[in-house]
A and B are shown apart, each in its own frame.
Chain A
Amino acid sequence: MAPNELPYLSITEAADQLRRKAVSPVELVQACLNRIESIDDKLHSFITVTAELALEQAKTAEQEINSGTNRGPLHGIPIGLKDLYATKGIRTTCHSAVLQDWVPDQDATTVTKLRAAGTVLLGKLGMHEFAFGGPSIDAPFPAVRNPWNTAHIPGGSSSGSGAALAAGLCYGSLGSDTGGSIRAPSSHCGIVGIKPTYGRVSRCGLVPLSWSLDHAGPMARSVEDCALLLQAIAGYDASDPASIDLPVPDFSSDLKKGIKGLRIGVPRANWFTEKRGTEPETESVFNNALKTLADLGGIIVELDGQPFSIARKANQTLLVAEAYAYHEKRLQEAPEKFGTSVRNRILEGAFLSAADYITAQRARTVLNRQIHANFSRVDIFATPTVPRPPEVFESMDPDEQNLRPSFTNPFNLTGLPAISVPCGFTQSELPVGLQIVAQPFQETTAFRVAYTYEQATPWHKQRPVL
Protein backbone atom coordinates (compact mmCIF):
# COMPACT_ATOMS: atom_id res chain seq x y z
CA MET A 1 0.00 0.00 0.00
CA ALA A 2 1.29 3.47 -0.92
CA PRO A 3 2.30 5.54 2.16
CA ASN A 4 -0.07 8.36 1.15
CA GLU A 5 -3.06 5.98 1.36
CA LEU A 6 -2.32 4.93 4.92
CA PRO A 7 -3.56 7.94 6.94
CA TYR A 8 -7.22 7.60 5.87
CA LEU A 9 -7.61 3.88 6.50
CA SER A 10 -10.33 3.08 9.01
CA ILE A 11 -9.23 1.33 12.21
CA THR A 12 -10.92 -1.83 10.92
CA GLU A 13 -9.00 -1.62 7.64
CA ALA A 14 -5.71 -0.81 9.35
CA ALA A 15 -6.22 -3.71 11.80
CA ASP A 16 -6.83 -6.04 8.86
CA GLN A 17 -3.65 -4.84 7.13
CA LEU A 18 -1.69 -5.30 10.37
CA ARG A 19 -3.04 -8.81 10.86
CA ARG A 20 -2.05 -9.74 7.28
CA LYS A 21 1.32 -8.01 7.82
CA ALA A 22 0.66 -5.90 4.72
CA VAL A 23 1.65 -2.94 6.87
CA SER A 24 3.44 -2.61 10.21
CA PRO A 25 2.57 -0.44 13.25
CA VAL A 26 5.81 1.49 12.65
CA GLU A 27 4.70 2.30 9.09
CA LEU A 28 1.31 3.49 10.35
CA VAL A 29 2.95 5.71 12.97
CA GLN A 30 5.51 7.07 10.53
CA ALA A 31 2.74 7.91 8.03
CA CYS A 32 0.88 9.86 10.74
CA LEU A 33 4.03 11.62 11.98
CA ASN A 34 4.95 12.64 8.41
CA ARG A 35 1.48 14.03 7.85
CA ILE A 36 1.48 15.88 11.20
CA GLU A 37 4.85 17.36 10.25
CA SER A 38 3.65 18.47 6.82
CA ILE A 39 0.18 19.91 7.54
CA ASP A 40 -0.47 20.44 11.24
CA ASP A 41 1.06 23.91 11.20
CA LYS A 42 -2.15 24.92 9.37
CA LEU A 43 -4.48 23.19 11.84
CA HIS A 44 -2.70 23.26 15.24
CA SER A 45 -4.53 20.10 16.22
CA PHE A 46 -1.62 18.73 18.32
CA ILE A 47 -0.25 20.48 21.42
CA THR A 48 2.33 17.76 22.10
CA VAL A 49 3.56 15.18 19.59
CA THR A 50 5.07 12.14 21.34
CA ALA A 51 7.00 10.91 18.28
CA GLU A 52 9.70 9.03 20.17
CA LEU A 53 7.22 7.26 22.44
CA ALA A 54 4.94 6.45 19.48
CA LEU A 55 7.76 4.83 17.53
CA GLU A 56 8.85 2.88 20.61
CA GLN A 57 5.28 1.67 21.26
CA ALA A 58 4.86 0.82 17.57
CA LYS A 59 8.04 -1.29 17.61
CA THR A 60 6.76 -3.15 20.69
CA ALA A 61 3.40 -3.75 18.99
CA GLU A 62 5.20 -4.99 15.89
CA GLN A 63 7.27 -7.45 17.92
CA GLU A 64 4.16 -8.68 19.74
CA ILE A 65 2.20 -9.13 16.51
CA ASN A 66 5.13 -10.93 14.89
CA SER A 67 5.41 -13.26 17.86
CA GLY A 68 1.69 -14.12 17.71
CA THR A 69 0.39 -11.93 20.55
CA ASN A 70 -2.94 -10.38 19.59
CA ARG A 71 -4.31 -7.60 21.80
CA GLY A 72 -7.38 -7.13 19.57
CA PRO A 73 -8.46 -4.71 16.85
CA LEU A 74 -6.68 -1.67 18.36
CA HIS A 75 -3.29 -3.37 18.57
CA GLY A 76 -0.75 -1.13 16.84
CA ILE A 77 -3.30 1.62 16.00
CA PRO A 78 -2.03 5.23 16.41
CA ILE A 79 -4.32 7.51 18.39
CA GLY A 80 -4.38 11.01 19.89
CA LEU A 81 -5.87 12.15 23.21
CA LYS A 82 -7.61 15.38 24.11
CA ASP A 83 -5.16 17.20 26.36
CA LEU A 84 -7.26 16.81 29.50
CA TYR A 85 -6.65 13.05 29.80
CA ALA A 86 -3.91 12.52 32.37
CA THR A 87 -0.94 10.75 30.80
CA LYS A 88 1.83 9.51 33.06
CA GLY A 89 5.09 11.31 32.29
CA ILE A 90 3.54 13.33 29.44
CA ARG A 91 2.56 17.00 29.81
CA THR A 92 -1.20 17.48 30.14
CA THR A 93 -2.12 21.13 29.67
CA CYS A 94 -5.89 21.48 29.18
CA HIS A 95 -4.76 24.04 26.55
CA SER A 96 -4.11 26.46 29.42
CA ALA A 97 -1.25 28.45 30.91
CA VAL A 98 -2.56 27.26 34.28
CA LEU A 99 -1.42 23.68 33.60
CA GLN A 100 1.12 24.16 30.84
CA ASP A 101 3.90 22.48 32.84
CA TRP A 102 1.82 19.77 34.54
CA VAL A 103 3.18 16.26 34.06
CA PRO A 104 0.82 13.72 35.70
CA ASP A 105 2.26 10.82 37.68
CA GLN A 106 -0.47 8.42 36.58
CA ASP A 107 -2.66 7.67 33.58
CA ALA A 108 -6.41 8.21 33.36
CA THR A 109 -8.27 4.88 33.61
CA THR A 110 -9.24 5.13 29.93
CA VAL A 111 -5.61 5.74 28.93
CA THR A 112 -4.55 2.63 30.87
CA LYS A 113 -7.23 0.66 29.03
CA LEU A 114 -6.12 1.94 25.63
CA ARG A 115 -2.50 1.08 26.42
CA ALA A 116 -3.60 -2.44 27.39
CA ALA A 117 -5.46 -2.70 24.07
CA GLY A 118 -2.15 -2.03 22.31
CA THR A 119 -2.81 1.45 20.92
CA VAL A 120 0.09 3.74 20.10
CA LEU A 121 0.00 7.30 21.46
CA LEU A 122 0.88 9.96 18.86
CA GLY A 123 0.34 12.87 21.22
CA LYS A 124 -1.99 15.23 23.03
CA LEU A 125 -4.60 17.25 21.15
CA GLY A 126 -5.71 20.88 21.35
CA MET A 127 -9.04 21.87 22.84
CA HIS A 128 -10.98 24.81 24.21
CA GLU A 129 -9.19 25.90 27.36
CA PHE A 130 -10.41 23.70 30.24
CA ALA A 131 -13.05 22.37 27.79
CA PHE A 132 -15.10 25.57 28.05
CA GLY A 133 -15.62 29.05 26.69
CA GLY A 134 -14.88 28.79 22.95
CA PRO A 135 -11.67 28.74 20.88
CA SER A 136 -8.74 29.88 22.98
CA ILE A 137 -7.29 32.94 21.31
CA ASP A 138 -5.18 34.08 24.28
CA ALA A 139 -3.94 30.68 25.48
CA PRO A 140 -0.28 29.62 25.21
CA PHE A 141 -1.15 27.33 22.28
CA PRO A 142 -2.85 28.41 19.06
CA ALA A 143 -6.55 27.69 18.49
CA VAL A 144 -7.35 24.61 16.40
CA ARG A 145 -8.60 25.20 12.83
CA ASN A 146 -11.18 23.31 10.77
CA PRO A 147 -9.54 21.09 8.10
CA TRP A 148 -12.48 21.67 5.71
CA ASN A 149 -11.75 25.38 5.70
CA THR A 150 -9.16 26.79 8.07
CA ALA A 151 -10.98 30.12 8.26
CA HIS A 152 -13.72 28.30 10.20
CA ILE A 153 -13.91 26.93 13.73
CA PRO A 154 -13.66 23.15 14.14
CA GLY A 155 -16.21 23.12 16.98
CA GLY A 156 -15.32 22.31 20.53
CA SER A 157 -14.26 21.66 23.02
CA SER A 158 -12.59 18.49 21.64
CA SER A 159 -11.45 20.54 18.65
CA GLY A 160 -8.03 18.92 18.18
CA SER A 161 -9.58 15.45 18.14
CA GLY A 162 -12.07 16.46 15.44
CA ALA A 163 -9.52 18.25 13.28
CA ALA A 164 -6.79 15.57 13.58
CA LEU A 165 -9.19 12.81 12.57
CA ALA A 166 -10.67 14.73 9.64
CA ALA A 167 -7.15 15.57 8.43
CA GLY A 168 -5.92 11.98 8.63
CA LEU A 169 -3.41 12.67 11.41
CA CYS A 170 -4.56 9.80 13.66
CA TYR A 171 -6.98 6.86 13.51
CA GLY A 172 -8.93 7.41 16.70
CA SER A 173 -9.17 9.77 19.63
CA LEU A 174 -10.79 10.31 22.99
CA GLY A 175 -12.73 13.50 23.65
CA SER A 176 -14.84 14.69 26.55
CA ASP A 177 -18.36 16.08 26.51
CA THR A 178 -20.04 18.32 29.12
CA GLY A 179 -22.51 20.14 26.87
CA GLY A 180 -21.66 18.79 23.40
CA SER A 181 -17.86 18.80 23.30
CA ILE A 182 -17.50 15.43 21.54
CA ARG A 183 -20.51 15.81 19.26
CA ALA A 184 -20.06 19.43 18.07
CA PRO A 185 -16.50 19.00 16.73
CA SER A 186 -17.54 15.66 15.23
CA SER A 187 -20.32 17.48 13.38
CA HIS A 188 -18.18 20.44 12.30
CA CYS A 189 -15.25 18.24 11.18
CA GLY A 190 -17.31 15.57 9.39
CA ILE A 191 -16.36 12.65 11.64
CA VAL A 192 -18.16 10.38 14.17
CA GLY A 193 -18.21 10.86 17.94
CA ILE A 194 -20.25 9.31 20.73
CA LYS A 195 -21.02 10.57 24.19
CA PRO A 196 -21.85 7.31 25.98
CA THR A 197 -24.35 7.03 28.83
CA TYR A 198 -23.25 8.80 32.02
CA GLY A 199 -21.47 6.13 34.06
CA ARG A 200 -20.52 3.91 31.11
CA VAL A 201 -16.93 5.18 30.77
CA SER A 202 -14.68 6.16 33.67
CA ARG A 203 -13.87 9.86 34.11
CA CYS A 204 -11.04 9.08 36.52
CA GLY A 205 -7.98 11.01 35.38
CA LEU A 206 -9.83 13.56 33.24
CA VAL A 207 -9.44 17.15 34.42
CA PRO A 208 -13.05 17.96 35.35
CA LEU A 209 -15.21 20.76 34.02
CA SER A 210 -18.46 19.75 35.70
CA TRP A 211 -18.56 16.47 37.63
CA SER A 212 -22.25 15.76 37.13
CA LEU A 213 -22.21 16.51 33.37
CA ASP A 214 -18.75 15.35 32.17
CA HIS A 215 -18.61 12.30 29.91
CA ALA A 216 -15.57 10.62 28.32
CA GLY A 217 -15.99 9.08 24.87
CA PRO A 218 -14.40 8.14 21.56
CA MET A 219 -14.14 9.95 18.23
CA ALA A 220 -13.20 8.34 14.90
CA ARG A 221 -13.82 8.46 11.15
CA SER A 222 -16.50 5.77 11.13
CA VAL A 223 -19.24 4.36 13.35
CA GLU A 224 -17.57 0.94 13.41
CA ASP A 225 -14.29 2.51 14.59
CA CYS A 226 -16.11 4.39 17.36
CA ALA A 227 -17.69 1.13 18.54
CA LEU A 228 -14.25 -0.52 18.69
CA LEU A 229 -12.80 2.35 20.72
CA LEU A 230 -15.76 2.40 23.12
CA GLN A 231 -15.37 -1.35 23.60
CA ALA A 232 -11.84 -0.77 24.85
CA ILE A 233 -12.64 1.99 27.34
CA ALA A 234 -16.11 1.11 28.70
CA GLY A 235 -16.73 -0.61 32.00
CA TYR A 236 -16.99 -0.14 35.75
CA ASP A 237 -14.25 1.73 37.58
CA ALA A 238 -14.36 2.00 41.36
CA SER A 239 -12.18 5.12 41.10
CA ASP A 240 -15.03 7.04 39.47
CA PRO A 241 -17.96 7.72 41.83
CA ALA A 242 -20.33 8.01 38.84
CA SER A 243 -19.27 4.72 37.26
CA ILE A 244 -22.05 2.15 36.92
CA ASP A 245 -21.35 -1.55 37.46
CA LEU A 246 -23.16 -3.05 34.47
CA PRO A 247 -22.00 -5.65 31.95
CA VAL A 248 -20.46 -4.13 28.81
CA PRO A 249 -22.20 -5.43 25.68
CA ASP A 250 -20.52 -6.07 22.32
CA PHE A 251 -21.02 -2.62 20.78
CA SER A 252 -20.45 -3.95 17.25
CA SER A 253 -22.91 -6.83 17.53
CA ASP A 254 -26.00 -5.05 16.18
CA LEU A 255 -24.41 -2.80 13.57
CA LYS A 256 -25.81 -4.67 10.59
CA LYS A 257 -29.29 -5.41 11.95
CA GLY A 258 -30.96 -2.46 10.21
CA ILE A 259 -33.63 -0.07 11.50
CA LYS A 260 -36.86 -1.44 10.05
CA GLY A 261 -39.76 -0.45 12.29
CA LEU A 262 -37.60 1.68 14.61
CA ARG A 263 -39.54 4.71 15.90
CA ILE A 264 -37.48 7.88 15.50
CA GLY A 265 -38.64 10.85 17.58
CA VAL A 266 -37.95 14.37 16.29
CA PRO A 267 -38.55 16.96 19.08
CA ARG A 268 -38.88 19.79 16.58
CA ALA A 269 -41.82 21.86 17.91
CA ASN A 270 -40.86 24.52 20.50
CA TRP A 271 -37.17 23.67 20.17
CA PHE A 272 -35.73 23.92 16.65
CA THR A 273 -37.10 27.46 16.31
CA GLU A 274 -35.99 28.68 19.77
CA LYS A 275 -34.66 32.28 19.66
CA ARG A 276 -32.72 32.65 16.37
CA GLY A 277 -33.56 29.06 15.60
CA THR A 278 -31.84 26.49 13.41
CA GLU A 279 -30.12 27.69 10.22
CA PRO A 280 -32.37 26.75 7.27
CA GLU A 281 -29.47 25.09 5.48
CA THR A 282 -28.72 22.89 8.50
CA GLU A 283 -32.39 21.96 8.94
CA SER A 284 -32.68 21.14 5.24
CA VAL A 285 -29.70 18.75 5.42
CA PHE A 286 -31.21 17.23 8.57
CA ASN A 287 -34.61 16.76 6.89
CA ASN A 288 -32.90 14.92 4.02
CA ALA A 289 -31.26 12.64 6.59
CA LEU A 290 -34.70 11.93 8.09
CA LYS A 291 -35.98 10.97 4.61
CA THR A 292 -33.08 8.54 4.27
CA LEU A 293 -33.82 7.04 7.70
CA ALA A 294 -37.49 6.64 6.68
CA ASP A 295 -36.42 4.99 3.40
CA LEU A 296 -34.33 2.57 5.47
CA GLY A 297 -37.45 1.53 7.42
CA GLY A 298 -37.51 4.02 10.30
CA ILE A 299 -40.80 5.57 11.39
CA ILE A 300 -40.57 9.32 11.97
CA VAL A 301 -42.60 10.65 14.93
CA GLU A 302 -42.76 14.41 15.62
CA LEU A 303 -42.49 15.29 19.35
CA ASP A 304 -42.87 18.37 21.54
CA GLY A 305 -39.37 19.78 22.10
CA GLN A 306 -40.18 22.02 25.06
CA PRO A 307 -38.52 19.96 27.84
CA PHE A 308 -35.44 19.59 25.65
CA SER A 309 -35.32 23.34 25.24
CA ILE A 310 -35.61 24.00 28.99
CA ALA A 311 -32.95 21.38 29.78
CA ARG A 312 -30.25 23.70 28.47
CA LYS A 313 -30.97 26.23 31.23
CA ALA A 314 -30.45 23.63 33.96
CA ASN A 315 -27.37 22.27 32.19
CA GLN A 316 -25.71 25.69 32.01
CA THR A 317 -26.44 26.48 35.66
CA LEU A 318 -24.96 23.21 36.89
CA LEU A 319 -21.98 23.56 34.57
CA VAL A 320 -20.85 27.02 35.66
CA ALA A 321 -21.51 26.33 39.34
CA GLU A 322 -19.46 23.13 39.34
CA ALA A 323 -16.73 24.62 37.12
CA TYR A 324 -16.36 27.55 39.51
CA ALA A 325 -16.24 25.23 42.52
CA TYR A 326 -13.41 23.29 40.87
CA HIS A 327 -11.39 26.35 39.79
CA GLU A 328 -12.20 28.69 42.72
CA LYS A 329 -8.77 28.64 44.37
CA ARG A 330 -6.92 29.23 41.08
CA LEU A 331 -9.28 32.09 40.18
CA GLN A 332 -8.64 33.71 43.56
CA GLU A 333 -4.88 33.32 43.40
CA ALA A 334 -3.88 33.64 39.72
CA PRO A 335 -6.84 34.65 37.54
CA GLU A 336 -4.48 36.13 34.94
CA LYS A 337 -3.34 32.63 33.97
CA PHE A 338 -6.77 31.85 32.50
CA GLY A 339 -7.75 32.99 29.02
CA THR A 340 -10.37 35.76 29.05
CA SER A 341 -13.15 33.71 27.50
CA VAL A 342 -12.97 30.73 29.85
CA ARG A 343 -12.30 32.89 32.92
CA ASN A 344 -15.40 35.01 32.34
CA ARG A 345 -17.62 31.99 31.74
CA ILE A 346 -16.40 30.15 34.86
CA LEU A 347 -16.63 33.29 37.03
CA GLU A 348 -20.39 33.40 36.41
CA GLY A 349 -20.53 30.50 38.84
CA ALA A 350 -19.27 32.72 41.68
CA PHE A 351 -22.50 34.69 41.55
CA LEU A 352 -24.90 31.75 41.89
CA SER A 353 -26.32 30.77 45.26
CA ALA A 354 -26.56 27.28 46.72
CA ALA A 355 -30.33 27.52 46.19
CA ASP A 356 -29.77 28.31 42.49
CA TYR A 357 -27.68 25.17 42.13
CA ILE A 358 -30.24 23.02 43.93
CA THR A 359 -33.01 24.51 41.77
CA ALA A 360 -31.13 23.32 38.68
CA GLN A 361 -30.71 19.85 40.21
CA ARG A 362 -34.43 19.73 41.00
CA ALA A 363 -35.22 20.84 37.45
CA ARG A 364 -32.97 18.00 36.29
CA THR A 365 -35.26 15.54 38.11
CA VAL A 366 -38.35 16.91 36.33
CA LEU A 367 -36.77 17.27 32.88
CA ASN A 368 -35.23 13.81 33.02
CA ARG A 369 -38.69 12.38 33.75
CA GLN A 370 -40.34 14.43 30.97
CA ILE A 371 -37.72 13.54 28.36
CA HIS A 372 -37.73 9.85 29.30
CA ALA A 373 -41.54 9.77 29.02
CA ASN A 374 -41.12 10.11 25.25
CA PHE A 375 -39.59 6.63 25.13
CA SER A 376 -43.09 5.17 25.47
CA ARG A 377 -43.74 6.53 21.97
CA VAL A 378 -40.33 6.35 20.28
CA ASP A 379 -37.13 4.28 20.44
CA ILE A 380 -34.61 7.04 19.75
CA PHE A 381 -34.42 10.80 19.20
CA ALA A 382 -32.90 12.45 16.13
CA THR A 383 -31.79 16.08 15.79
CA PRO A 384 -29.16 18.07 13.93
CA THR A 385 -26.04 17.92 16.13
CA VAL A 386 -25.41 21.68 15.95
CA PRO A 387 -28.01 24.26 14.81
CA ARG A 388 -25.68 26.04 12.39
CA PRO A 389 -22.59 25.39 10.26
CA PRO A 390 -19.13 26.15 11.68
CA GLU A 391 -18.63 29.90 12.07
CA VAL A 392 -15.78 31.95 10.65
CA PHE A 393 -13.11 32.59 13.34
CA GLU A 394 -12.77 36.30 12.74
CA SER A 395 -16.51 37.06 12.92
CA MET A 396 -17.29 34.63 15.73
CA ASP A 397 -19.64 35.91 18.42
CA PRO A 398 -19.20 33.89 21.65
CA ASP A 399 -22.74 34.82 22.75
CA GLU A 400 -24.27 33.54 19.50
CA GLN A 401 -24.54 30.00 20.88
CA ASN A 402 -26.85 31.28 23.62
CA LEU A 403 -29.15 32.67 20.95
CA ARG A 404 -29.64 29.30 19.23
CA PRO A 405 -31.11 26.05 20.48
CA SER A 406 -28.54 23.61 21.90
CA PHE A 407 -29.26 20.12 20.59
CA THR A 408 -26.50 18.56 22.67
CA ASN A 409 -26.93 20.01 26.21
CA PRO A 410 -30.10 18.08 27.17
CA PHE A 411 -28.32 14.75 26.80
CA ASN A 412 -25.60 15.72 29.25
CA LEU A 413 -28.32 16.67 31.73
CA THR A 414 -30.14 13.36 31.18
CA GLY A 415 -26.98 11.30 30.64
CA LEU A 416 -28.44 9.62 27.53
CA PRO A 417 -26.04 8.13 24.94
CA ALA A 418 -25.78 10.36 21.86
CA ILE A 419 -23.77 9.95 18.67
CA SER A 420 -23.02 12.40 15.85
CA VAL A 421 -22.57 11.02 12.32
CA PRO A 422 -21.89 13.03 9.12
CA CYS A 423 -25.14 13.72 7.22
CA GLY A 424 -24.15 16.14 4.45
CA PHE A 425 -22.52 19.42 3.57
CA THR A 426 -23.54 23.03 3.26
CA GLN A 427 -23.18 24.87 -0.05
CA SER A 428 -19.86 26.16 1.30
CA GLU A 429 -18.70 22.53 1.65
CA LEU A 430 -18.74 22.50 5.44
CA PRO A 431 -19.89 19.30 7.20
CA VAL A 432 -23.24 18.87 9.00
CA GLY A 433 -23.87 16.20 11.64
CA LEU A 434 -26.90 14.10 12.52
CA GLN A 435 -27.38 13.34 16.22
CA ILE A 436 -28.94 10.03 17.28
CA VAL A 437 -29.90 9.67 20.96
CA ALA A 438 -30.76 6.32 22.53
CA GLN A 439 -32.10 5.13 25.88
CA PRO A 440 -29.73 4.73 28.86
CA PHE A 441 -27.00 2.15 28.24
CA GLN A 442 -28.39 1.42 24.74
CA GLU A 443 -25.26 2.54 22.88
CA THR A 444 -25.69 -0.51 20.64
CA THR A 445 -28.93 1.02 19.32
CA ALA A 446 -27.26 4.39 18.71
CA PHE A 447 -24.44 2.62 16.83
CA ARG A 448 -26.91 0.51 14.82
CA VAL A 449 -28.89 3.53 13.61
CA ALA A 450 -25.78 5.59 12.90
CA TYR A 451 -24.10 2.70 11.04
CA THR A 452 -27.21 1.96 8.96
CA TYR A 453 -27.42 5.62 7.97
CA GLU A 454 -23.67 5.93 7.36
CA GLN A 455 -23.54 2.89 5.07
CA ALA A 456 -26.46 4.20 3.00
CA THR A 457 -24.84 7.60 2.40
CA PRO A 458 -21.53 8.89 0.96
CA TRP A 459 -20.73 11.62 3.52
CA HIS A 460 -18.22 9.73 5.69
CA LYS A 461 -16.07 8.96 2.65
CA GLN A 462 -15.40 12.59 1.75
CA ARG A 463 -12.07 14.13 2.75
CA PRO A 464 -10.95 17.75 3.13
CA VAL A 465 -8.36 19.08 0.68
CA LEU A 466 -5.27 20.13 2.61
Chain B
Amino acid sequence: MAENTALAKLRTMAERSGLSLSEEELSKLLPGINRSHSQIAELREFMTDRIEPAAIFVASRTETR
Protein backbone atom coordinates (compact mmCIF):
# COMPACT_ATOMS: atom_id res chain seq x y z
CA MET B 1 0.00 0.00 0.00
CA ALA B 2 2.78 2.39 0.99
CA GLU B 3 4.56 1.56 -2.23
CA ASN B 4 1.43 2.33 -4.26
CA THR B 5 1.11 5.69 -2.53
CA ALA B 6 4.75 6.42 -3.20
CA LEU B 7 4.34 5.45 -6.85
CA ALA B 8 1.27 7.67 -7.18
CA LYS B 9 3.26 10.58 -5.78
CA LEU B 10 6.11 9.87 -8.17
CA ARG B 11 3.71 9.75 -11.09
CA THR B 12 2.36 13.19 -10.19
CA MET B 13 5.86 14.62 -9.79
CA ALA B 14 7.00 13.08 -13.07
CA GLU B 15 4.01 14.54 -14.94
CA ARG B 16 4.68 17.94 -13.39
CA SER B 17 8.27 17.70 -14.65
CA GLY B 18 7.15 16.86 -18.18
CA LEU B 19 8.48 13.30 -18.01
CA SER B 20 6.70 10.35 -19.60
CA LEU B 21 7.51 7.40 -17.37
CA SER B 22 5.70 4.05 -17.30
CA GLU B 23 4.65 2.35 -14.06
CA GLU B 24 7.51 -0.11 -14.56
CA GLU B 25 10.03 2.70 -14.97
CA LEU B 26 8.72 4.48 -11.87
CA SER B 27 8.97 1.25 -9.87
CA LYS B 28 12.61 0.89 -10.88
CA LEU B 29 13.34 4.45 -9.80
CA LEU B 30 11.66 4.13 -6.42
CA PRO B 31 14.52 2.50 -4.43
CA GLY B 32 17.04 5.13 -5.60
CA ILE B 33 14.62 7.97 -4.82
CA ASN B 34 13.91 6.55 -1.37
CA ARG B 35 17.64 6.30 -0.72
CA SER B 36 18.08 9.94 -1.81
CA HIS B 37 15.32 11.11 0.51
CA SER B 38 16.67 9.20 3.50
CA GLN B 39 20.13 10.68 2.84
CA ILE B 40 18.65 14.18 2.85
CA ALA B 41 16.78 13.43 6.08
CA GLU B 42 20.13 12.49 7.66
CA LEU B 43 21.69 15.73 6.42
CA ARG B 44 18.85 17.75 7.97
CA GLU B 45 19.61 16.22 11.38
CA PHE B 46 22.73 18.27 11.94
CA MET B 47 21.51 21.52 10.44
CA THR B 48 21.13 24.69 12.49
CA ASP B 49 19.47 27.96 11.43
CA ARG B 50 22.78 29.78 11.13
CA ILE B 51 24.19 27.61 8.36
CA GLU B 52 24.17 29.11 4.88
CA PRO B 53 24.43 27.06 1.69
CA ALA B 54 27.89 26.68 0.15
CA ALA B 55 26.80 28.14 -3.21
CA ILE B 56 28.12 31.68 -3.52
CA PHE B 57 27.14 34.41 -5.94
CA VAL B 58 29.88 36.97 -6.60
CA ALA B 59 28.30 40.18 -7.90
CA SER B 60 31.47 41.44 -9.53
CA ARG B 61 32.09 38.28 -11.52
CA THR B 62 30.73 37.95 -15.04
CA GLU B 63 31.23 35.04 -17.33
CA THR B 64 33.06 35.55 -20.62
CA ARG B 65 32.04 32.31 -22.28
Interface of A with B (CB < 8 Å)?
204, 212, 238-241, 310, 313-314, 316-317, 320, 328, 331-332, 335, 344-345, 347-348, 350-352, 356, 358-366, 368, 399, 402
Q: Is the CB of B55 within 8 A of A361?
A: yes
Q: Supply 16 A–B pairs (Cβ within 8 Å), ascending by A.
A: A212-B55, A239-B65, A313-B42, A332-B17, A332-B18, A332-B19, A344-B32, A351-B13, A351-B33, A352-B36, A359-B47, A360-B43, A361-B53, A362-B43, A363-B47, A399-B31
Q: Is the CB of A345 within 8 A of B64?
A: no
In the complex the two chains form, what is the Cα distance from A351 to B32 in whole Å?
A: 10
**Chain A residue contacts of B42, Cβ below 8 A:** 310, 313
In the complex the two chains form, what is the Cα distance from A362 to B10 in whole Å?
A: 26
A347, chain B: closest CB distance, angstroms: 6
Task: Say if the beta carbon of B4 comes within 8 Å of chain A.
Answer: no
Count residues of B near A (Cβ-Cβ below 8 Å).
Answer: 32
Known: A348-B29, A361-B53, A364-B53. A313 touches B43 (CB 8 A): yes
Cβ contact of B36, chosen from A317, A331, A364, cutoff 8 A: A317
Chain B 3-18 interface 0/1 with A at a Cβ cutoff of 8 Å (1 = within):
0000000100110011
Please give me the residue from chain A that is nearest to B35 by CB atom. A402
**Chain B residue contacts of A316, Cβ below 8 A:** 36, 39
Q: Which of B13, B29, B43, B52 has the most CB of A within 10 A?
A: B43
**Chain B residue contacts of A358, Cβ below 8 A:** 53
Task: Say if the beta carbon of B60 comes within 8 Å of chain A.
Answer: no
Known: A351-B10, A402-B35. A360 touches B61 (CB 8 A): no
**Chain B residue contacts of A310, Cβ below 8 A:** 42-43, 46
Q: Is the CB of B40 within 8 A of A344?
A: no
**Chain A residue contacts of B33, Cβ below 8 A:** 348, 351
